[in-house]
């Protein structure tokens, strides 16, 4: 294997997780190769993400990674100058029924314990945050003002550009076809264009994670389901936070939307039952389903014109939490998969965590964080804020 085909780390996937990981690894002075099947960065699930960024999760691992990621998004423009359309609009979870009130208030305890800036607001206070909300039957909700949003497309491109500047190599239009091993150790990857050597291979292949893991003979419980999203025309600002409605209604679980930095509203709904598989073709059921719920919640949205719709994949795990860490049976093979639709908001923090793992510099806190995300956990619980 020639020298220019040998790297310290090979990352499979140049998306929401792979691109910031490459950046962190390159910043640490490691020689990185990223391989992606698509012609440019973020063309898998990243460009289909709606752009919500929050640390208000229900578990310490995602809260920590989310907080660090938020910090990186929030400071990116001032640190590096690229505009990524970051806006600190906050996140709000609405409660119109006792069930959601109870869930949200229970989660608040954990969230506060890990230092999140989040509070329960009663109906009156909540309406001050979202004045256009339908007040009928509103109990209140949680509001976390430090969360926000950014453009997944611009952010991933910014990570990619900086990673490249720091020496990371990106090979697009290239498909990983095998993992090269020697005994129980990773030696590199094989692609449709050649072999590359590295002692560390990171699987950041999003919805293709199980397929890529399979190449190394590793079984990973990640399978994608699909959600449709849409973006509207741009209008003058009328809404600050992301609005999440957890209520299940026939045909759908939760849905969420926010007004992006550009003035456009971006929204998404979780179908119920889930639509499993890789199909990302547009359906006729999406718009009527989501429109009736959104307009019911904020009637003012009825006059907002929908511009474009798309469908994306959520690489799901059995418990709704990501799978991150070294594999036991193949030394040097790391998983950063099963983001369950949160790869964009967790990516930068995860990238740093993975870099510490590669450098064998994980802290005590990192080890605790990773225990929640371990590939070898029992997958018994269930994420409440998917």
Closest alpha carbon to 372 in 61, 57, 56, 109: 61
Q: Is 81 in the site for another protein (CB under 8 A)?
A: no
> Toward another protein, which CB reaches closer, 28 or 139?
139
Minimum CB separation from another protein for residue 335, in Å? 27
The two tokens of residue 195 are: 């072999």
> Toward another protein, which CB reaches closer, 68 or 171?
171
How far apart, in whole angstroms, are the C-alpha atoms of residue 214 and residue 218?
Answer: 5
Burial class of 303 by CB neighbour count within 10 A (0 to 12, 13 to 18, 19+): exposed
Minimum CB separation from another protein for residue 285, in Å? 8
Q: Is 135 in the site for another protein (CB under 8 A)?
A: yes
Question: Considering only residues 142-181, where is the footprint of another protein by CB under 8 A?
Answer: 153-154, 157
> Toward another protein, which CB reaches closer, 39 or 183?
39
> Toward another protein, which CB reaches closer, 242 or 358?
242
> Toward another protein, which CB reaches closer, 34 or 358?
34
Contacts of residue 284, Cβ cutoff 8 Å, sequence gap at least 6 = none
> Out of 310, 374, 384, 386, which residue is the one contacting another protein (CB under 8 A)?
310
> Out of 113, 307, 328, 367, which residue is the one contacting another protein (CB under 8 A)?
307
Q: Is 274 in the site for another protein (CB under 8 A)?
A: no
Q: What does 326-367 look like in DSSP terms, one character per residue?
A: E-SSSBTEEEEE--TT-HHHHHHHHHHHHHHHHTT---HHHH
Contacts of residue 307, Cβ cutoff 8 Å, sequence gap at least 6 = 230, 231, 232, 233, 264
> Toward another protein, which CB reaches closer, 266 or 373?
266
> Toward another protein, which CB reaches closer, 38 or 326?
38
Q: Is 133 in the site for another protein (CB under 8 A)?
A: yes
> Out of 28, 306, 381, 383, which residue is the one contacting another protein (CB under 8 A)?
306
How far apart, in whole angstroms, are the C-alpha atoms of residue 273 and residue 276?
Answer: 9
Number of shown-chain residues binding another protein (CB under 8 A)? 50
Three-class secondary structure assignment of 52-64: EECCCCCCHHHHH
> Toward another protein, which CB reaches closer, 62 or 157?
157
Closest alpha carbon to 22 in 206, 152, 176, 167: 167
* Residue 219: Cβ within 10 Å count: 9
> Out of 60, 199, 251, 263, which residue is the one contacting another protein (CB under 8 A)?
263
Question: Considering only residues 319-378, where is the footprint of another protein by CB under 8 A?
Answer: none
Tokens 């679980």 appear where?
253
Site string for another protein, 203-242 (x = CB under 8 A): -----------------------------xxxxxxx----
Task: Name the one range near another protein by CB under 8 A: 130-138, 179-187, 268-276, 373-381.
Answer: 130-138
Tokens 């900086």 appear where?
162
How far apart, in whole angstroms, are the C-alpha atoms of residue 141 and residue 163?
Answer: 39
> Toward another protein, which CB reaches closer, 233 or 329?
233
Q: Which H/E stretch holds residue 268?
A: strand 264-271
Question: Considering only residues 276-305, where is the footprint of another protein by CB under 8 A?
Answer: 279, 281-285, 287-288, 290-292, 294-296, 298-305
Site string for another protein, 11-40 (x = CB under 8 A): ---------------------------xxx
Distance (Å) of CA 82 to CA 99, 153, 200: 42, 12, 30
For the chain, report the end-to-end CA distance as a whole number of angstroms. 44
- Which residues sit at the interface with another protein, rule CB under 8 A? 38-43, 47, 132-136, 153-154, 157, 232-238, 263, 279, 281-285, 287-288, 290-292, 294-296, 298-310
């Amino acid at each position: 294997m020639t020298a220019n085909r040998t790297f310290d780390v090979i990352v499979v996937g140049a998306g929401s997780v792979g691109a910031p990981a490459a950046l962190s690894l390159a910043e640490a002075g490691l020689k990185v190769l990223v391989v992606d099947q698509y012609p440019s960065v973020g063309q898998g699930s990243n460009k289909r993400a709606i752009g919500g960024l929050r640390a208000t999760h229900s578990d310490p691992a995602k809260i920590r990674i989310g907080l660090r990621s938020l910090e990186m998004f929030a400071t990116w423009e001032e640190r590096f100058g690229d505009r990524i359309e970051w806006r600190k609009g906050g996140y709000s979870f609405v409660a119109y029924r006792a069930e959601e009130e109870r869930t949200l208030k229970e989660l608040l305890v954990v969230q506060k314990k890990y230092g999140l800036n989040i509070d329960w607001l009663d109906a009156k206070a909540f309406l001050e945050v979202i004045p256009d909300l339908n007040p009928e039957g509103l109990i209140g909700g949680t509001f976390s003002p430090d969360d926000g949003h950014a453009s997944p497309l611009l952010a991933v491109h910014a990570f990619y550009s900086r990673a490249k500047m720091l020496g990371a190599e990106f090979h697009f239009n290239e498909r990983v076809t095998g993992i090269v091993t020697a005994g129980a150790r990773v030696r590199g990857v094989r692609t449709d264009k050649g072999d590359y050597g590295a002692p560390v291979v990171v699987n950041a292949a999003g919805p293709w994670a199980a397929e890529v893991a399979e190449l190394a003979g590793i079984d990973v419980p990640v399978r994608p389901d699909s959600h449709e999203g849409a973006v509207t025309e741009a209008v003058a600002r009328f809404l600050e936070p992301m609005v999440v409605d957890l209520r299940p209604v026939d045909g759908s679980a939760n849905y969420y939307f926010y007004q992006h930095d550009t003035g456009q509203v971006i929204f998404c709904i979780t179908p119920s039952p889930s639509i499993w598989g890789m199909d990302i073709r547009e359906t006729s059921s999406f718009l009527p389903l989501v429109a009736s719920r959104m307009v019911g919640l904020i009637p003012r949205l009825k006059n907002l014109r929908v511009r474009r719709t798309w469908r994306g994949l959520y690489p799901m795990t059995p418990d709704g939490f990501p799978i991150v860490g070294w594999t036991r049976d193949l030394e040097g093979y790391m998983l950063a998969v099963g983001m369950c639709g949160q790869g964009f908001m967790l990516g930068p923090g995860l990238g740093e965590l993975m870099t510490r793992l590669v450098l064998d510099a994980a802290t005590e806190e990192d080890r605790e964080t990773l225990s929640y995300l371990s590939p070898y956990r029992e997958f018994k619980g269930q994420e409440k804020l998917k």
